[in-house]
Structure 1
Amino acid sequence: MTELDGLLAAGRAAAAELMRETVTIRAAAAEGGFDWESGTESPGTGAVLYTGQARVKAVARSRGEEVDAGEHNVTLREYTISVPWGSAAPPERVVPGATVDVDESPDARLVGLRLWVTGVEYGSTATAWRISAEDRS
């Protein structure tokens, strides 16, 4: 084991300690999506790609941007979801349009939150697998 491997192992263990939520990540479904006419979101029934430990954190620089969707105003809030780096690779790649549901959290306000994946970060020197998502409520 190299010095870098030791540092990465320590960083990954520290990152895992911050993961207090349980989430379910579902693949984007062909029949789901955002209906701009009605301003409603329909996730479809995509396959489950991951269920387990995660950290759900609001992005500090998030603007809470309001957009018009049909006759409704929708506020987009950004989140970062961190999943253990060593977790098994999902059967298919997580791509924008997938959903992340917060199933359990010490913060009761997060439970039931549905987030929409906007990007995914991979890297061999990362301490966690990070997913960018937004709350479209």
Structure 2
Amino acid sequence: MDIVTLAQVITSVTNLLFVIVLAVGYYFTWRVSQTTLEEMRAQRTAMGRPLVIVQEDYESLPELDVAIRNVSEGAARDIEFEFSVPIESSNAFVVSDLPYFKYGLDFLPPNGEITCYWDELDSLLPFLEAKDLRNGIHVTVR
């Protein structure tokens, strides 16, 4: 066997080893990514279904706010709202026509909250009684 043939054989063997090392590396990278994906799915399922609520917020009385809260440990996605009657303030501003109520929210993080001003309590109560809303406004969240 001459030196040229030996060099060609060695080059072919090293190229083959290089391809094998790359293939093994890609395989292990794929396996790690699959394991990570399974862990993420298990974690999301363990947190349970997201629970999003819409309620009045009395923290800054006499001002009254409307709050959207995700009270679960999982992220809420593609949230839509449906109101039994529009949420109006005493000056006829329709709070339920705000974009995040009207078009929904794409995402609300775990324990996330969005609040917006509704009205002053002293002017809102007579307004709601005049509209005969003593039983409240029902909101369906999907």
TM (normalized to structure 2)? 0.30
Between Structure 1 and Structure 2, the one with more strand by share is: 1
Q: Which has the higher helix share?
A: 2
Q: Which one has the largest radius of gyration?
A: 2
